[in-house]
Structures are given as C-alpha cells and as structure tokens.
Chain A
Amino acid sequence: MLERNPADQEPDVDALTGTTTTGHVWDGIRELNTPLPRWWLWLFYATILWAVGYWIVYPSWPLVSSYTKGAFRWQSRDAVVSDLDALKAQRGPMVEKLRSASLQEIASDPTLLDFARAQARPAFAENCAPCHGAGGGGGRGYPNLNDDEWIWGGNLDEIAQTIRHGVRSGDADARQGAAMPAFGRDGILKRADVENVGDFVRSLAGVAPDPKTDLTAGKKIFSDNCAVCHGETGKGKRELGAPNLSDAIWLYGADKPSIVEAIWNGRGGVMPAWAARLDDVTIKALAVYVHSLGGGEK
C-alpha cells in the first residue's frame, strides 16, 4: 500500500544513512532516494544508437512481402552457403580420393574408410534410414543391413550395385530377380497346401513344428513349387533375389501366419534406384558404410 503524506516540502533525510528519501512510504517503510548513475543512462542511449546502426547494417525490418536488406545485403543463408563451400573445399582432396579409389581400396585404407563412413552417415540418415532404420536395423519387410544375410549379395560391389540401381525400381539395371508369385491368391495352391508348405519352410530353418505335423506333403509341394527359386534345401538364389529360408533371419517374420501370408500373396520388395539422386562418391561411401555395419562379405 502506498501512503502519501501531505505535509511540508522539505526533503526528508534518513537519520541512519544521511540519504534523502523519495517520500514514498509503504507500511512505514520509506524508500531512500538513490538515483541510478548517469552513465547508466548513457549506456541506454548507446544501445538505442546501436539498434539504429543494426537496422542500417543488417536485415531487420519486415516489409509487406520482403524485408530491409541492410547496407551490405548480408544474410545468414549466404553465410551458410559460404561455410558449406569452405567445408567442401576442405574435404575436396579426400573426396577426390574417394572418387578415384575402388571400393576395395577404400575399405582397406583406415583413413579412407573412416572418411567414407563419416561422409555416409548423414547421407544414410537422410536417404536410407526412413526404411532401413537409423542404424540400418531394418524392420518388417525392410532388410536389416547389419546382419549377414543378403538377398542380392553382400560384397562391396554388389551392395553398390543395389544402391545405384535399386530393386524392382524400373531402372534398366535394377535387381529384378523373380518376384514371388501369389500361390494362394492366384489359385496355384490350395489353402491346405499352403499351410503344409508353410510348416515345411519353418522346419527348414529349424523352427520346430508341432511333432504331430506331417512334413512329407509340405516337402513335396516345396520341391514342386518353391525349390526352383529357393533351392531344394531352401538355401535361396541371389541371382533371383530368392532369400535363404534355412537360416535364422526372416524379413517378414518367422511365425506361421507371416509365412503363410507370403506364400498366399507372394512377395516382391522394392527399393529406389539412387544413382539419379545421389552422386557417385556418396553412393560409394554408402556402400562402404553399409558393408562396414557388420555383415559385409568379401
């Protein structure tokens, strides 16, 4: 509460400090009159002057459809561009080395390998991670790039080829293989056959089926329909893009409904061709990076 007392005009002096008071009283507490130093005011004026200078030099005022550009037409976007150019120039020699070296040379030179992996990491995050996951861990229908099963081959050149031209991408050199037919939907196999062959496929990978299950029917159907691409023992054929069915890795899941669904409706994963979008150096770096995730083949 502010109390004001109408009385004489003599400035009130505080007995203890000898300082005059402002005359303001709050519940008996009086306020000493201690003005700010004048240089404080000058600093305030200086900030105003600074602001005016800033308006002149830098882009500052928004206009209806643009903004004031500033005396030197400086903008942060140009600064980013020049920073990026400087970075490019700095990396230039190493990038040239990547361009001229073969994939095998890159992978066997520790410095080049480190550089390629560093270059590829952001490219992978921007282009590959949406399907294959941030660390290449994959997901249902999107291969895990860390493991050692490769549908289309896992050495450096094969990986680079897949990245460049994609899988069933429409590119002339794309991995085409043979898309898996829809055995059930297209009426090639009956429902019971599909169920039987599903059990048999699971047994190939060592997923123990119900002991009562008779696998002979499934084996027969497999030999007649599947072995042509996946091989008699289910080892798969890379040239056809037919995955190995006898290992522990399942792109769409190892459970029976997933396998039955695959046989009934067929499968045929796709991947875009990246040659049109990414430059060759980036593709090489990506190939080396994916190869180095842990599953790369010789």
Chain B
Amino acid sequence: MQAGGDIALALHHAHAAQPPLLELVKDAMGAASPAASVRPAPDVPEPDDEGPLYVARRKIYPQRVKGTYRTIKWIVLFVTLGIYYGLPFVRWDRGPGAPDQAVLIDFPNRRFYFFFIELWPQEIYYLTGLLILAAMTLFLMNAVAGRVWCGYLCPQTVWTDLFQTIERWVEGDRREHLQRDRQPWTVERLGRSGLKHVLWLMLAWWTGGAWVLYFADAPTLVKELATFEAPLLAYVWIGILTFTTYTLAGHMREQVCLYMCPWPRIQAALTDEHALNVTYRYDRGEPRGSVKKSAALRVQGMPAGDCVDCYQCVYVCPTGVDIRSGPNLGCIQCGLCIDACDTVMAKIDRPARLIAYDTDLNIKRRQEGQPELYHIVRMRTVFYAGVIAIVAAVMAYALATRQSEGISVIHDRNPIFVRLSDGELRNGFTVRILNKSLERRSFVLTVEGLADIDLKIVGDTVTSGPMAVITVGPDQSHELRVLVSTYSSLPPAASIPLTFRITDAQTGQRASAVDHFRGP
C-alpha cells in the first residue's frame, strides 16, 4: 500500500472489531496531547530504518467465478472490445473524394472523420467538450456507484480480464496454477507458459494492429500489413502497443491501479458517504466463524455473523484485496467478490449479498436499528448531470449549426496602412477562405464598413470595385492577399470596423469575419 491510499483506507475503514472511527477522532480531539492520545508513547518502537525499501510483487492468482457481475463484465468486455477491434471496418459513404471509413483520424490531410461529423484541426475545441463530458461522466459514475469505470470499463481492467482468462485456459484455475508454479520447470510447464505468452503476444499485437487502423483506410492497411507493404510507422506503432498491452495487461496488471494510476487517489477524495461502493456488510458478517459454530451460536441466541472466513472473496479478486478490511485503494470494485460470496451464501443457505453495493453509512444505520438510506439524487449527482447536460447540449448545438464555409482575416502588421501617391489610403489583409464541403464552390467576397471601397486581390488582375469572386476547391482552404483602399478621408487615428463576408454564389450560405481599416 502507499501513503495516499493509506489515508483513504484509514478514513474509511471501520471494522466491527475495532473502535468506530468517530470515537477515535473524538479521542484524538479531546485529548490534551495528540501524540499521547493516539497511542501511548512507550508503544512506539525504534524506527525500523533497516527494513526493506522495496517490496516484491505478490503474484495474484484470481480464481474463476460465476454470477451477475461476472456476466455484466463479460458483456461489457465483448461490447467494448468489439467496438475497439471492429469500428475501423465500419464504412460510411461521404461521396466521391472523401474517405468512406466511419471513424478515421487522417493525419496527412489534417482531418478527423466520425460518422457524419468531419472536423478540421482548428475545431479541436470539440475535444475540450468531449474531455469535460468524459470527466463529468467519470465523476457522476463515482458519485452514484463508486469505481464503475475501474471495475468494468477501464481498458486496463478489460484487457487484464482477457489476459487472465487466457491464463486460466492455459495454466489452469487458481489452485491448479498455484500448484504448477510450485513445481520445478518441466517440459509441460514450459510449454504451457510458452503457449500463454504466445497467445498474449498475439492478442497484444492485434490490439496494436487495431489501433493503427484508426489512422488509415482499414481494409487497405490490413492488406498492406499482411503483405508487409505497410508504412514503417504502422509497424512501429503496432510494436509499441504490442509491448504496452503485453506488459500492462500480462505482467503489470493490478500494479498499474495501485502505483501508476492517479484516479484511485482522486476517487478517494471525490467520494462521499452516499456513494454506493462494493462493501462488506460487517453488520451481517461479524463475528466470523465456521458454518457449524455459527449455527450453534445462533441456536443459543448468541451473536453470529454470516462470514465463514472462506476467503472466496479474496481468491477471486483481480487485485488481491480483502474486501472485508473495508474500502480500499486497491479495490477496483468489479463486483467479482459479490458473485463469489453469493455462491457461498447459497451453498450454506444464508441470504445473498453479504458483500454488495452499499454504503458504510447504511451499515451504521442498520447497526443502530435505523432504516437504510439511499440518496442517489443529491447535490453532486445533480450538479454532475447538469454539467453533462449543458456541455452535451452546447456541443450538439455547435455541431448542428457547424458551417461548411469560413473566413479568417489578418491585418498586415507592417505597414499598418499605406498612403498612395494620389492620397488614397490602403490596408493589406491576409484572408483565408475555408470550404469544408466536398464540392468546389465559388464565393463572392465583399468588404463592408467603408464607403467608396476598392478591393484588389494579388495575382488577380480582373477584380476591381467592392467585391471579388473566389473559387475554393473541395475540402480545402485558400489564402489570399487582399488590398482594401478608399478615397474617403478618415478621421485622425481612425480604426474603422470592416466586415469581410463570403457568400456562396449558389446556395447563399454566408460567413464573415471582422477586422479594421486603419488610417494615419
């Protein structure tokens, strides 16, 4: 365990056998000397500076389990991985001259395609909205039911789950695997281990392979990859993702959650007493005892818990946590211990859900004979849902009203204005006209704001007067140098707003940008 987790762990842990947290805090606050109140001084031993600075990883052999949450995890796993591996092959017809891949990040052409949406690099702010949505959804999930992300949706969890399943196929379930690992290296053990790593690497390679398909036409790239004609960069990225997948899902597993991921720390700070978490109901479980002993105690009317100390919840845990020691940084709340415990409870004929999605608050209320309290709709869930709704609405509006044409204008910095020989004043502008549609379009460029205006476009000897016609190719932008001049006499230190407007010659769609005409 690490320091950050220990705080959360200490704060949340309230084991039945230990004094309740509140009393501890009261003790500490009421006492004259805090040091003395927490623990009498003589108990504190000499600092153990000779102890190990590093701890070896304890290998975890998660046991196979069946039940509701396992089924949910399977469904989520197949759906998410199905999307990940399959999405690049989904086609979406955009007409001639545009890629027909539904989801494509086209770096060479600086375009992002997502079904009916096509984004240009300057529209990267949509990503900001997406990130806000993602964060708020994460917070909302946490406020409602704890680490839903960690337990079911996180790629680290999903791939680790898949890798552990492969491991169980090849090297057997927990007991068998443990036994095998204790034996010397035989040909069979070597063979099994080798097979496992080969399968892992194949899956990891496939993961990297699917990744690169999002950046090029998938069917073409698959063909190229198979015939070793794909660009080197594709192989490099597949290599990188093969390495990370194989390492993180095969070897690092829970270490990623325990040591590398920031979310468990943030999550501990964001949670509250009403958030449902995978919880051991110690009000029901304690005191623990064997089936027979507990039954005997019950007959005598003595307190006896339902927990039979069978350790099934620990054995199935993918991060090797004992849920019975309370909310825990290492617990990704995947619910597998619920399934394991329910299986045992069914066998010993006790009610299910000794471990369940519950709150510590409810345990205390039950102990005090008060009714349970479920508070899904509360300040923070409403706030998170509200932010999600607002951001989603803004994004939907922005996408729905997204223009397929655009114009941007930059005023010359040097010189700000030019006085011509006949006294005429001229300003130079760099104008960029964007055509985001897939057809060649002609735009009428007008500049408004000054009477007596004359437009000149460098390289265009035809245009004169207050407007010009500019043709821009499909899905392209076109940069022009535009000289705007006027005979009107301007007031001193003039800065007159100019509106540069483009109007599609056929459809009448318009876009405009504002800059200024500057005089002496």
A24 pairs with B412, CB closer than 8 A: no
| Segment of B43-51, B262-270, B294-302, B343-351 in the binding face | B43-51
A23 pairs with B48, CB closer than 8 A: yes
Residues in chain B near residue A24, CB distance under 8 A: 47
Chain A residue with minimal CB distance to B35?
A28
Which A3-36 residues sit within 8 Å CB-CB of chain B?
3-12, 14-20, 22-25, 27-28, 30-36
Indicate whether B53 reaches chain A with its CB closer than 8 angstroms. Answer: yes
A34 pairs with B45, CB closer than 8 A: no
Residues in chain B near residue A25, CB distance under 8 A: 35, 44
Residues in chain B near residue A28, CB distance under 8 A: 33-38
| Segment of A57-65, A81-89, A162-170, A244-252 in the binding face | A244-252
Chain A residue with minimal CB distance to B456?
A294
A23 pairs with B10, CB closer than 8 A: no
Indicate whether A212 reaches chain B with its CB closer than 8 angstroms. Answer: no
**Known interface pairs A9-B46, A17-B9, A17-B13; A34-B415 also in contact (CB < 8 Å):** no
A23 pairs with B57, CB closer than 8 A: no
Q: Interface size on B (CB < 8 Å)?
A: 56
Residues in chain B near residue A39, CB distance under 8 A: 57, 252, 255
Choose one: B9, B44, B55, B415; the contact of A5 (CB below 8 Å): B44
Residues in chain A near residue B44, CB distance under 8 A: 5, 7, 12, 23, 25, 30
Choose one: B45, B51, B52; the contact of A7 (CB below 8 Å): B45
In whole Å, how far is B13's beta carbon from the nearest beta carbon of chain A?
Answer: 5
B45 pairs with A9, CB closer than 8 A: yes
B51 pairs with A33, CB closer than 8 A: yes
**Known interface pairs A19-B1, A32-B6; A148-B421 also in contact (CB < 8 Å):** yes
Indicate whether A193 reaches chain B with its CB closer than 8 angstroms. Answer: no
Residues in chain A near residue B426, CB distance under 8 A: 146-147, 294
Which A208-237 residues sit within 8 Å CB-CB of chain B?
none
In whole Å, how far is B417's beta carbon from the nearest beta carbon of chain A?
Answer: 9
In whole Å, how far is B470's beta carbon from the nearest beta carbon of chain A?
Answer: 11
- What separation, in Å, do the CA atoms of A113 and B481 have in the docked complex? 12
Bitwise interface map of B from 262 to 306 toward A, beta carbon under 8 Å scored 1, else 0: 000000000000000000000000000000000000000000000
**Known interface pairs A7-B42, A37-B259; A247-B6 also in contact (CB < 8 Å):** no
Residues in chain B near residue A176, CB distance under 8 A: none
Which A225-269 residues sit within 8 Å CB-CB of chain B?
244, 247-249
Indicate whether B182 reaches chain A with its CB closer than 8 angstroms. Answer: no
B428 pairs with A35, CB closer than 8 A: no
Indicate whether B186 reaches chain A with its CB closer than 8 angstroms. Answer: no
Indicate whether B18 reaches chain A with its CB closer than 8 angstroms. Answer: yes
Which B30-71 residues sit within 8 Å CB-CB of chain A?
33-39, 41-49, 51-57
Chain B residue with minimal CB distance to A291?
B458
- What separation, in Å, do the CA atoms of A207 and B82 have in the docked complex? 80
Indicate whether A181 reaches chain B with its CB closer than 8 angstroms. Answer: no
- What separation, in Å, do the CA atoms of A140 and B34 have in the docked complex? 78
In whole Å, how far is B483's beta carbon from the nearest beta carbon of chain A?
Answer: 5
Q: Interface size on A (CB < 8 Å)?
A: 59
Residues in chain A near residue B41, CB distance under 8 A: 5, 7
In whole Å, how far is A36's beta carbon from the nearest beta carbon of chain B?
Answer: 5
Residues in chain A near residue B415, CB distance under 8 A: 133, 135-138, 144, 146
Indicate whether B422 reaches chain A with its CB closer than 8 angstroms. Answer: yes
Bitwise interface map of B from 422 to 435 toward A, beta carbon under 8 Å scored 1, else 0: 11001010000000
Indicate whether A38 reaches chain B with its CB closer than 8 angstroms. Answer: yes
Choose one: A18, A36, A136; the contact of B54 (CB below 8 Å): A36
B259 pairs with A34, CB closer than 8 A: no
**Known interface pairs A35-B54, A37-B259; A137-B414 also in contact (CB < 8 Å):** yes
In whole Å, how far is B489's beta carbon from the nearest beta carbon of chain A?
Answer: 12
A5 pairs with B42, CB closer than 8 A: yes
Bitwise interface map of B from 1 to 26 toward A, beta carbon under 8 Å scored 1, else 0: 11100100110010000100000100
Residues in chain A near residue B421, CB distance under 8 A: 147-149, 244, 247-249
Residues in chain A near residue B412, CB distance under 8 A: 135
Of the candidates B9, B10, B57, B458, the one having the most CB atoms from chain A within 10 angstroms of its own CB is B458
- What separation, in Å, do the CA atoms of A108 and B459 have in the docked complex? 7
Indicate whether A134 reaches chain B with its CB closer than 8 angstroms. Answer: yes
- What separation, in Å, do the CA atoms of A138 and B55 have in the docked complex? 71
Indicate whether A155 reaches chain B with its CB closer than 8 angstroms. Answer: no
Indicate whether A41 reaches chain B with its CB closer than 8 angstroms. Answer: yes
Chain B residue with minimal CB distance to A244?
B421
Indicate whether A93 reaches chain B with its CB closer than 8 angstroms. Answer: no
For this complex, 29 residue pairs linking A to B, each with C-beta atoms less than 8 Å apart, are A5-B44, A5-B46, A7-B43, A7-B46, A11-B45, A11-B48, A17-B1, A18-B325, A23-B45, A23-B47, A28-B36, A30-B39, A31-B3, A36-B55, A39-B57, A40-B54, A40-B259, A108-B461, A110-B459, A135-B413, A137-B416, A144-B415, A146-B415, A146-B418, A148-B420, A247-B421, A248-B422, A293-B428, A294-B456
- Interface residue ranges, B against A (CB under 8 Å): 1-3, 6, 9-10, 13, 18, 24, 33-39, 41-49, 51-57, 252, 255, 258-259, 325, 412-416, 418-423, 426, 428, 456, 458-459, 461, 481, 483
Q: Which 5 A-B residue pairings sit nearest by Cβ, starting from the closest?
A: A137-B415, A28-B35, A135-B414, A23-B47, A247-B421
Other than the given A133-B415, A135-B413, A244-B421, 6 more pairs (CB < 8 A) read: A18-B325, A28-B34, A39-B57, A41-B54, A248-B419, A294-B483
